[in-house]
Structure 1
């Protein structure tokens, strides 16, 4: 059976599964729409959290980044993994104990201010729209290749699917859909990695195989890749080229951005108890590790196979007329291109003036099984996994946008007397509008998938993280300080990113960056600015009311039991 037919079958079956789950678990109340009724099992919530967090950037783009950037790409791996640990240990239990539906809800009540709630809503919407643009782009990339449609059509199909189970099921439908999506994406990520690891090194464990010797040779796989990279004008694969300060700031931005992402934080409100929040965080970390420890192996396998396929075993080039089918297939999407510079009819890929190939880094995971000549069902499975990753996170983000509008902006601010039924209507309406806007950004994204997502993490780091940390661990932080800090942090970070990525992209060079910090890492500086502004403003404004300080104390410490003598 050909790849297209197999893809229709496997992807179609997964869509039927997701829609069936959405119908079975549709939300009937605002409590079910916002937090799935608060009775999700910790293991199921761990799977849903992993699927929510492992977006298209994790599934499609992260291994592609490592494949092209080598050691430098490890900042994404370290930042996202470390950020989840930070979230699970330092924030999730306390936020769950606070008992609010959303991050703006926490900010509004903790900082005793409707203005603080409104600022948090604006930040949440801004962060989520930036993030969801990358997810919709990921959907378009998958569909454009495997269903042989253009990216616009692919994005529209993804919008329709997400709209159905987000608007119908709310958090309840999304939770159980994400459990299924996690199983699909995990299987899709590991199966080709195991296949290729056995083919290239004889080791069935890809996490070990990519550091092993090549089958039938005494050469280690990474040594071969370093040699190929040097010969072809690329930087050595296992050596970094980024400055230490930029590596630190990107990693920190991704870490604290993860801990401030509203669509991940809300998952810890779907379990019955605070203890269950900790347990589901532990399960999620285990599920995430299964994918993240495999990413460097996939990146290495794909890089070696791609170079050998394009340049030939002797690195003299391959006749375009005899090019593998995967190159011709991906050319149709516009994500691979060939320019015969020396008119010899041969393709050649290098990191210098000899290069004749344009290769989008977002295709590496999806093209990996094709490059390695794996069976068509494996290729189709990877397509289903990529779609599952993008759709699962998109749904979580869109739900945050809809709840921020309906619950935080309308119910808790502009329309306090609104009924539950009307609130649910506005939540679904907001989700529908958000999907349309997200689809537009999916068609016209500001960068490749992981880069767009990195911007979202930077915005979350510079706005939410300080407000949440101070809200939990510093009871004397007042509303004026928190609001000023959030506004200063997100404004500075957004302005920096917009300038270098949209206003003057030609200036996006290390020598022009402030202190050598790239737009991907500027969120860390924005976070520091947030803290500084908050503490300065706090010194010149009113003290926090005593009842609010007592409330903050109760979040961190259990109430003392009075024992009768």
Structure 2
């Protein structure tokens, strides 16, 4: 059987599993729909949280980022895993004790204000839609390459799959589907890594293989450093970012993770406060399996790619290369007309993605219209590294197909969680809490399901017709979460004096500041201005790290304004104090 047949079989089996779970876990109440009835075990919640968190960005893109940036890519490992330490210690147990359904629900009640709730809803929608657009596009790319269908068709299939288990089960269906999706994606991620580690170093443990000697007796990282320097790149194990920017990016990713609404809501689904802390710890363990393997896959795939394409004649290039050309994720331009691929430091293209013509060159290559004047002839999108890695390493067809199933599981699991946040923000935080407080449970459930349908259609349109700025903004959703939610939540838990005026001002100013910086330095201003260069960064801070500065501004604004305006009522302050005190302490102290 070929790769396509294997892919249809494995994707069909996994989708049948997801549908079966969705029908089994149908939601019968709003509590089931919003928080899975509050009865999910810590183990199941840990697995579901890990799947919810490990999106297409983690599965497909992270190893690709590290493969191209080397040492500098460690900020993603530290930031994204460190965020779960913050969640486990500072947020999860307290939010669970507060006992609400959503992040805007917590902010609206804690700050005794529908205005605060509305600001939180808007922030949740901005973060969730920018994040989910990338997931749907990732689904389309995987379907396009492995199932040989159009990207648009792939996105529509992904929309239909998510609709089934999100519409029927809400959080209940999503939770148990995500448990299955975690098993699929981690198996799909680890199997090729183990295969390639044995193939290149003889070690069955990828994490050890990365630091081991290869079959030629040379340490793999030393070999990759040498390959890099020969091609004019900086050594793979050297860093180029400033210490401040590394710190800023890491902290922004940490607090952004701790502020993501689709991650936080998972801790409302467990029965007890201690279960929230347990499930956060288990989620970190499950996530660490993938995150400690990603650097190894980055090293293996980078080494294999360079050795496969460097100075190779296009006519002799493996079939996988020509297949991936059709997706636009890899391209070759024969600038010196020698028929060989010259892979050197520098941009092969003027734009970020290749612009193909319908013509073919004399070697059969797809012709590019936006080649740069730099001598580099090869364009490689970082997203290719994980998906094409098994093909580059010549692994069995079923392993290649397994990676496709894993990529879909990762994208669909996160898309479902994000779409639920969008749905509950509308049905619960806008309709139930503000517009129609007397709405019945059944009507609220209907509105939640209608909201899911609308959100999926919008997300699908983003995937089919991605605006130019979305691809750049998805990676910065963490900065938005850091700049908006994290200060409001952390101050809401630990500062009794924090009031609605401070929280609203902080969220608005932090979010607007982050959006402005992203637009000016990452995307331009909707075609009016070009993105400003690195030399113009404020305080030497990259857009990926600016969430740290926006968060600090939010904190300062919140604290200052809260001290200049009336304090919350005694009832609100007592409520804040009560969520920090373990159950039974007051009774024990009175005896």
Identify whether the pair has TM-score above 0.5, normalized to the shorter chain.
yes
Aligned with residue 410 of structure 2, among 382, 389, 401 = 389
Residue 517 of structure 2: aligned partner: 496
Q: Deviation at 1:349?
A: 1.6
Q: Secondary structure at the match of 1:358?
A: strand
Give me the whole-angstrom Cα distance separating, in 2, the residues matched to 1:440 and 1:501: 22
Give me the whole-angstrom Cα distance separating, in 1, the residues matched to 2:84 and 2:152: 33
Task: Verify the 8 A CA contact 1:10 1:381 in the aligned structure 2.
Answer: yes
Residue 230 of structure 1: aligned partner: 229
Does 1:544 pair with 2:568? yes
Residue 37 of structure 1: aligned partner: 37
Residue 314 of structure 1: aligned partner: none
Residue 59 of structure 1: aligned partner: 59
Task: Verify the 8 A CA contact 1:57 1:453 in the aligned structure 2.
Answer: no
Q: Secondary structure at the match of 1:33?
A: helix
Aligned with residue 464 of structure 1, among 464, 485, 491 = 485
* Alignment of structure 1 residues 476-487 onto 2, 5 Å: 476-487=497-508
Structure 1 unmatched ranges of 5 or more: 312-316
Q: Secondary structure at the match of 1:347?
A: coil
Give me the whole-angstrom Cα distance separating, in 1, the residues matched to 2:405 and 2:51: 14
Q: String of CA shifts for 1:519-556, please: whole Å, max 9, x gaps.
A: 11111111011011111211221111101000011000
Residue 260 of structure 2: aligned partner: 261
Give me the whole-angstrom Cα distance separating, in 1, the residues matched to 2:267 and 2:472: 27
Give me the whole-angstrom Cα distance separating, in 1, the residues matched to 2:560 and 2:492: 16
Task: Verify the 8 A CA contact 1:61 1:449 in the aligned structure 2.
Answer: no
Residue 247 of structure 1: aligned partner: 246
Structure 2 unmatched ranges of 5 or more: 347-373
TM-score by length of 2: 0.92
Give me the whole-angstrom Cα distance separating, in 2, the residues matched to 1:205 and 1:446: 41
Give me the whole-angstrom Cα distance separating, in 1, the residues matched to 2:589 and 2:548: 47
Compared CA separation, residues 443 and 74, structure 1 to 2 (3 A): farther
Does 1:302 pair with 2:301? yes
Q: Secondary structure at the match of 1:560?
A: helix
CA RMSD, 1 decimal: 1.5
TM-score by length of 1: 0.96
Q: Deviation at 1:429?
A: 1.1
Residue 369 of structure 1: aligned partner: 390
Compared CA separation, residues 448 and 150, structure 1 to 2 (3 A): farther
Residue 421 of structure 1: aligned partner: 442
* Alignment of structure 1 residues 350-365 onto 2, 5 Å: 350-352=344-346, 353-365=374-386
Compared CA separation, residues 69 and 238, structure 1 to 2 (3 A): same
Give me the whole-angstrom Cα distance separating, in 2, the residues matched to 1:279 and 1:420: 31
Give me the whole-angstrom Cα distance separating, in 1, the residues matched to 2:460 and 2:415: 10
Give me the whole-angstrom Cα distance separating, in 2, the residues matched to 1:455 and 1:283: 26
Give me the whole-angstrom Cα distance separating, in 2, the residues matched to 1:32 and 1:451: 35
Compared CA separation, residues 357 and 19, structure 1 to 2 (3 A): same
Q: Deviation at 1:232?
A: 0.5
* Alignment of structure 1 residues 406-445 onto 2, 5 Å: 406-445=427-466
Compared CA separation, residues 564 and 409, structure 1 to 2 (3 A): closer
Task: Verify the 8 A CA contact 1:57 1:450 in the aligned structure 2.
Answer: no
Task: Verify the 8 A CA contact 2:54 2:414 in the aligned structure 1.
Answer: yes
Residue 520 of structure 1: aligned partner: 544
Q: Secondary structure at the match of 1:431?
A: helix
Q: Deviation at 1:564?
A: 8.3
Q: String of CA shifts for 1:465-520, please: whole Å, max 9, x gaps.
A: 00000000111101100000000000110111122233357434210111111111
* Alignment of structure 1 residues 309-348 onto 2, 5 Å: 309-311=308-310, 317-348=311-342
Task: Verify the 8 A CA contact 1:133 1:452 in the aligned structure 2.
Answer: no
Which is further off, 446-455 or 300-309? 446-455
Give me the whole-angstrom Cα distance separating, in 1, the residues matched to 2:170 and 2:466: 26
Give me the whole-angstrom Cα distance separating, in 2, the residues matched to 1:338 and 1:546: 68
Q: Deviation at 1:218?
A: 2.5
Residue 529 of structure 1: aligned partner: 553
Task: Verify the 8 A CA contact 1:61 1:450 in the aligned structure 2.
Answer: no
